[in-house]
Every structure is written in structure tokens, then in C-alpha cells.
Structure 1
Amino acid sequence: MTAAIGEELPPPASEATSPANFYTADSDPIVVIGKKFIVPNPVELKIQQTVFTIAENYLDIVDDNGNPIFKVRDKLFSVHNRRVLFDAAGIPLVSLRQKISSVHRRWKVFRGESEGAVDFLFSVKKSSLILRRMKTRTATSLDIFLASNTSESRPDFKIIENWCRSNCTVFHGDTIIAEMHKSQSVKSLVINADNYEITAYPNVDYAFIIALVVILDEINRNGDG
């Protein structure tokens, strides 16, 4: 089965009983943003916060060789709290919009720079299960629902962070499809920003994974995690 755009998927990791495994080149492609972001090998990417101004927060996404792959333009004072993910050529791929009125601060993602229902791809919100440890730290759990999953009886994907928020894992059912960990440089410490190293496993839409990590970072930075 190919997990195509708008297609509801099997149960998430939280409902799985078998040990986690990893997505492979033999697994059916998971396509959410676009087929061109599917490759038969793991993709290693880095998110770097390169510029910080009063008006905007710029993120660059590069490969292991430093080649630009994506960029995010973050309008801090946008009415819709809106971020746009562009490809390296500057073409808008998806818009990430935070629904402020939502109890769980839901993020909705649309194709291009649209906000129309026909271009709605998926949404992300905090899980109703908030994991707590010693009342001092929380581990963020996010549920991801594809556009066709209108009942939202169970998420199509799930993100689980570790307690110190230095790593997260993206699940499709009981299978790990991507992993992220934070890395720090002198520059990131100076501008008080987090950089990320991301592995998207084979046959997983890596633009989709980047969008998820950007949303996770926004939720944590705003204290919604």
C-alpha cells in the first residue's frame, strides 16, 4: 500500500504492541508534500537558524555538504502566525499556520501559500496524553492527521520527544520513519537558537519531515509543548 497524499494510514506507534522498526527501501512510499521528495536511501539534513531580526526568523535546511535544500521564512508578527517552506529555488512548497484559538494550538499545513480547504494537507497538535516526569520536565507528544482523516479517531503519524527535548522520533504505526537531534554551535548559542540534524529514512517524504520538525520547534519555543 502506498501512503499517498490525503490517504488515511494504519494505527500510530502509541497503539502498537510490537517493537519499533525502521522504514526501509522496500517499504511503500510515504508521500505527503510531493513524490519528488522520495528517494530509496536515508536523507541526512540540517536545519540552521541563520538570521534573526525583529520581523523574521530565517531557517536554512542544507544537506551534509552544505548545499541548500529548503528554507523557511518565519513571519513572527503575521496575523496567522505563518511560516512558509520553500525549496532551494525559492518556490513555496507548503504554508504552516498556527490556529491560535485551538486549545491544543493546532498547526495546519497547506500546499503552496494557500489557506484554502482544497489545498489542506495535514494538521499537527499536541497529544491528549502529556507525559510528565518529576513535575519538572515534559516530553512533547504530537499527533499528525492527514486531510482525509476527518474523524481523527487516531493519528496517521506521531512525534515523540525524549525528556530533555534533545531528540525526537517520528512514527508511522510502530515504524520509525525519521529521527532528529539538536546540535549546538557557537553561533546558535549567541542567537539563542536550536539547530537540528535530521534523518529521514528511505521512501519517506523528507519535505514532510522538515515541516514537522519546524512545527515541533515552534511549539517548544512558544512553551506549548
Structure 2
Amino acid sequence: MAKVHPNSTASSSEARRKKAEAPPSSSPESGGEAAVLTVWRKSLLFNCSGFTVFDDKGNLFFRVDNYSSGKRAEVVLMDAAGRPLLSIRRKRLSLSEQWLVYEGEDSTAPLFSVKKPFGFLQPRALARVAPIGGRFCGYEVEGSFSRRSCAVYDGRRRRVAEITRKESAGGVGFGGDVFRLVVLPGLDSAVAMAIVILLDQMFPS
């Protein structure tokens, strides 16, 4: 198999670790560049499911470790050191598929909600992200997650992130378990990864 994680034992930079300690924010970063992440639909822990995410230098960036398979009531997105960044919880007693996303391991004040729209009303729409409390912008996800071909748009219809297939240096595809997440300035990479996690919950392969 082609190499997915060239520096899997290395953590991301000190700057990223400091940023992870601050509350996630979706505000644009001045002079920022697109973050190109490799998402591996696999946990590095034995007998766990989840995600392992690397930056463009091959350093561990995000991780998700779940001890149960299938749809879960709660998923925690962590940084490279294992610190919780966002907690994703399915909304109880909801007629539609809807999740609430909290900062860290908080369970009282959600930052935003993510809802799966009814397909016959908007066939291209995969998910809708709605702010709670004014800290985040609203976003809409369109495309096909099963094909790893999606885009995230803000309220002005500007593309702020995209999911694409990843190929090895030799041009060999990795399949659906390894793909690329490109996050443009204006969207926090943790929020973008939370959207990926929820797409995986909504459209399991």
C-alpha cells in the first residue's frame, strides 16, 4: 500500500498546538493559506474506529478514536496531543438527522448544529450548518460524499472547503478511506473536520 502517513509519530508544529488551546473560530485569518489535509478513515489505536488526519508535511494534525463502530451518539475531535477540540452529539428526539457541536467537552452551550436536509427538496445539498449564538457563519455542503467530491459554501456562496480523492505519487488511488480535505482561509480546519465526521455519519459506506 502507498504511504499515507509519512510522519505519523510526529505531532504538528508548536504554533498549531498553541492554536488548538484556543477556542475554535471560523473567522478569516489575515494572510492565511489553504490548509491541505490528508484524512485517513482509520484510528491509530488498536481495536478502534475513527479518523487520523495529517497536514501537508505528514505530521499528525487531528485524531478521532472510537471504541464502537457504526453511528455513535457522541464523537470527539482531538488535536495531535489528544486534547478535545470539538464534541459532536446527535440531537435527541429529533425527527430529522441533526447533530449539535460543542467546544471541547462542553455539553451546555452548542456552537452550531448540522442537519441533513430532505433529499427531494434539495438533491445536491448534503448538510446544512447553522450557527448557535452568533460565533459561527452558516455553511452548506454540496456534492457526493460517497465519491469524495464535496464542497462547503458560506452564506455568500463562496467555497471555503472541499473534499477530493487522493492519489499516491505514482497515480494510484487510495480508495474511499483516504482522501484530501482542503480548507481555505475563512473556515477553521477543526470545523471543516467536524463536517467531514458528520458526513461520514450521515452517509456511511
Paired residue type of 1:72: V
Which string of whole-angstrom CA distances, capped at 9 and with x for unpartnered residues, describes residues 71-121 of structure 1?
Answer: 11234369962110111121101101122532221011011112113xx11
Instruction: Find the residue that maps to 2:152 and give its secondary structure.
Output: strand
Percent identity for Structure 1 against Structure 2: 27
The residue aligned with 1:147 is 132
After superposition, the Cα gap between the structure-2 partners of 1:112 and 1:51, relative to the gap in structure 1 and judged at 3 Å, is: closer
CA distance in structure 2 between the partners assigned to 1:202 and 1:116 by the alignment: 29
The residue aligned with 1:67 is 59
Does the 8 A contact of 1:41 with 1:203 survive in 2?
no
The residue aligned with 2:149 is 167
Question: Offset of 1:165 from its aligned partner?
Answer: 3.5
The residue aligned with 2:190 is 207
Say which structure, 1 or 2, has more relative contact order (CA 8 Å, 6+ apart).
1
Aligned length: 177
Question: Offset of 1:126 from its aligned partner?
Answer: 1.2
After superposition, the Cα gap between the structure-2 partners of 1:53 and 1:202, relative to the gap in structure 1 and judged at 3 Å, is: closer
Q: Normalized against structure 1, the TM-score is what? A: 0.65
The residue aligned with 1:89 is 81
After superposition, the Cα gap between the structure-2 partners of 1:165 and 1:103, relative to the gap in structure 1 and judged at 3 Å, is: farther
Does the 8 A contact of 1:182 with 1:197 survive in 2?
yes
Point out where structure 2 has 5 or more consecutive residues left out of the alignment: 1-22
Which string of whole-angstrom CA distances, capped at 9 and with x for unpartnered residues, describes residues 38-73 of structure 1?
Answer: 461111001112348996313111012210111112
Which of 155, 168, 178 aligns to 2:161? It is: 178
After superposition, where does 1:30-109 map in structure 2 within 5 Å? 33-34=24-25, 38=29, 40-51=32-43, 56-76=48-68, 81-99=73-91, 101-109=93-101
Instruction: Find the residue that maps to 1:212 and give its secondary structure.
Output: helix
The residue aligned with 1:158 is 140
Q: Normalized against structure 2, the TM-score is what? A: 0.71
Instruction: Find the residue that maps to 1:101 and give its secondary structure.
Output: coil
CA distance in structure 1 between the partners assigned to 2:28 and 2:82 by the alignment: 16
CA distance in structure 1 between the partners assigned to 2:195 and 2:28 by the alignment: 14
Does the 8 A contact of 1:130 with 1:139 survive in 2?
no
Give the root-mean-square deviation of aligned CA atoms.
3.5
After superposition, the Cα gap between the structure-2 partners of 1:51 and 1:86, relative to the gap in structure 1 and judged at 3 Å, is: closer
The residue aligned with 2:180 is 197
After superposition, where does 1:1-40 map in structure 2 within 5 Å? 33-34=24-25, 38=29, 40=32
Question: Offset of 1:148 from its aligned partner?
Answer: 2.5
